[in-house]
A and B are shown apart, each in its own frame.
Chain A
Amino acid sequence: MGQLWESFIMAFKDVFANKTRSFLTMLGIIIGILSVSLMGTAISGINNTFENSMDMMGNDVLHLQKFPWFMKGGDWWDFRNRPNMKVEYAEKILQRSKKISFATPEMQNMGNIRYGDNSIQGVFIDAANWQLQFVNSLDFSAGRFYTKAEDRNASKVVVIGYGIKDNLFPSQNPIGEEVRIRGMKYKVIGTLKEQGKFLGLFSFDNMAIIPLRSAYSIFGRRKHMSITLKVREGFKVDEAKEEVRIIMRSLRGLKPVEKDNFAINQQEAFRQQFSAIKMGISGAGFGITALALLVGGIGIMNIMFVSVRERTKEIGIRKALGAKQNVILFQFLSEAVIIAVIGGMIGLIITTSLVGLLNKFFVASLSIELIIISLSVSIITGVLSGIVPARKAAKLDPIDAIRYE
């Protein structure tokens, strides 16, 4: 053990005796580890954000709409010519269905919100009935959702997302304050907890929820509408979907030969689409990583061959003094692994500083698992690229080696 430790220390000194060369050799590994750790962090960040977004959508929620989320085949005009969704469907489905517990029509629109002199453009305004709080499991940081009565009376009350609260009321309790939505006065009655951005692009936090009836006067009745349905607990989403389909066909009076003229969307569709994207990212990431590590590994191997040649005499002396093959092997293998691991660590340090940048788009952090994986990959690369030169060193004939100048 002592001998191997000494070999390791000697290898360490040798790496630092040739700082520039060692650093240049590390570059490939640095890029490889940077790529694997950054890609891993990005994927897990995207994944977290995606799951958060999915949770907000609810995985037991069905979206009854005119268009499917991801059109596979079919003529856009066929979809376009379908009849629009109607507000009363929500009530009718709720009456007829056993498997749906809550239903709300939803109208969504962009608008601006103003409070005093401050205003925010491009707010996502969601108009729904009082059941929305049960359909989407809304988390409140303060206040409450609007009541059935407020909903029926088209009260001008609003629940605001974290982003709006943060912008309009940075250091003030917004509850009870009046904001203007498209010029109309609304009273803030609740604020939601932070949700994060959807795929780093679109924030649910930049959302305001108002009673559906109150929205008619600002959006009109003819806006795109969808019906959002919550599957009753204990029932499978697919069964509920089938039930809703049958109810809708009967509401629309469709004959058996006619195709559905509506779409029932669920987050599963997103998930499928997302996993394809994720595979694409990880595939590309894996490719870059493998290529960088291969180049890095060859770089280390090359420099180790140079190192063995340069130190042939030294190896001869060590062998004459009684160094066994495995001691010499270990010394050179250590050198390769040290170069690879230091390269890996530099890569990880760069990643850590870049994660801050990623965080501007979505919540991401470098996980312990990823650090362990990165360092393991470094060690393996070091061993694979160092083994051949190290074996060459270990097998040198002491007489020839000691005479080498």
Chain B
Amino acid sequence: MALLELSNIFKTYKIGSVEVHALQGLNTVIEKNEYVSIMGASGSGKSTLMNVIGCLDTPTSGSYLLDGLTVHSNDKKKSKLDDNELAEIRNQKIGFVFQTFNLLPRATALHNVELPLIYAGVSKKARMGKAHSTLIEVGLGDRMHHRPNELSGGQRQRVAMARALVNNPSIILADEPTGNLDSKTSAEIMVLLDKLHSVGNTIILVTHEHDIAEHAHRIITLLDGKVSKDSKTKNGSKNKLINNN
């Protein structure tokens, strides 16, 4: 079964009296352990799709299945999930990595990474252990008690990635993760993201930079709220080749 299945997704916003059709019948399927980039010009519906996949927003119509769970469906019997149920899904299934990092400024790296575990109701002891080991995993073993303003941009993004990883989510959703970083740091972050994929994580990367998108194995291109192109990258074909051997 597919990890993520979006069929005939529509999303319409009302800004004042103007209706904005952000998604217009979008269909796509993403399998477990895929590494997918989502590209598209601004206004193509990238952000909206991101919010729908991340359960931050619900579609106006269409069905969305995530890891066997019905997040949204047109069938009225399967009623829409409420705010709290969506929060629980975000907590359990989604790991967010944002362009602007979005760390709590007054909390240490360790506490930032602990946060999803707190909301998952994990005990203090288990939480500390898990947050520790995840920070070590992203190479920040010596920065646990630093606050975001004491960390470099690359280090902040690593904290954010540790936070995304810590609860073993089904999907890591990275929205322009290198958008605020210089090219050297960007490369480091992408190495880390590639590594996370190689150990079995499913990664969805939203970007408008081609060379970044090429890290993924598949690129979904959006235009006017629909998938206009869905293709494998060099990495993707290479991977297939290795698998075939």
Contact = CB atoms under 8 A, between A and B. Distances in A.
Q: Do A and B actually bind?
A: yes
Contact of B87 (A13, A319, A402): A319
Given A17-B106, A314-B104, A402-B102, A322 B56 contact: no
A359 B118 CA distance: 51
Interface in B82-121: 83-84, 87-88, 90-92, 96, 98, 102-104, 106, 115-116, 118-121
A313 B54 CA distance: 17
Contacts of A6: 118
Contacts of B104: 314, 317-318
Interface in B40-93: 51, 54, 56-57, 83-84, 87-88, 90-92
Given A399-B51, A399-B57, A322 B102 contact: no
A160 to B, nearest CB: 68
A323 B121 contact: no
Interface residues of A, number: 22
A201 interface: no
A322 B120 contact: yes
B163 interface: yes
A322 B96 CA distance: 11
B229 interface: no
A41 B122 CA distance: 47
Given A325-B83, A399-B51, A402-B102, A320 B90 contact: yes
A398 interface: yes
Contacts, number: 62
A322 B91 contact: yes
Contact of B91 (A17, A321, A326): A321
A2 interface: yes
A398 B51 CA distance: 10
Nearest to B90: A322
Interface in A317-343: 317-327
Interface string A13-26: 10001000000000
A173 interface: no
Contact of A322 (B51, B98, B106, B116): B116
B123 interface: yes
B124 interface: yes
A7 to B, nearest CB: 9
A275 interface: no
Nearest to A313: B102
Contact of A321 (B51, B83, B116): B116
A327 B54 CA distance: 20
A321 B96 contact: yes
Interface string B7-49: 0000000000000000000000000000000000000000000
Given A314-B104, A320-B56, A2 B87 contact: no
Contacts of B103: 317
A3 interface: yes
Given A2-B122, A320-B56, A323-B87, 15 more contacts: A3-B118, A3-B119, A17-B106, A313-B102, A318-B104, A320-B102, A322-B87, A322-B120, A324-B83, A324-B87, A324-B88, A324-B119, A325-B83, A399-B51, A402-B98
18 contacts: A3-B121, A314-B104, A317-B104, A319-B87, A321-B91, A321-B96, A321-B115, A321-B116, A322-B90, A322-B167, A323-B119, A324-B83, A324-B87, A324-B88, A325-B84, A326-B84, A399-B56, A402-B102
8 residue pairs, one from A and one from B, having the closest CB atoms: A322-B91, A322-B119, A324-B84, A321-B116, A324-B87, A6-B118, A322-B90, A317-B102
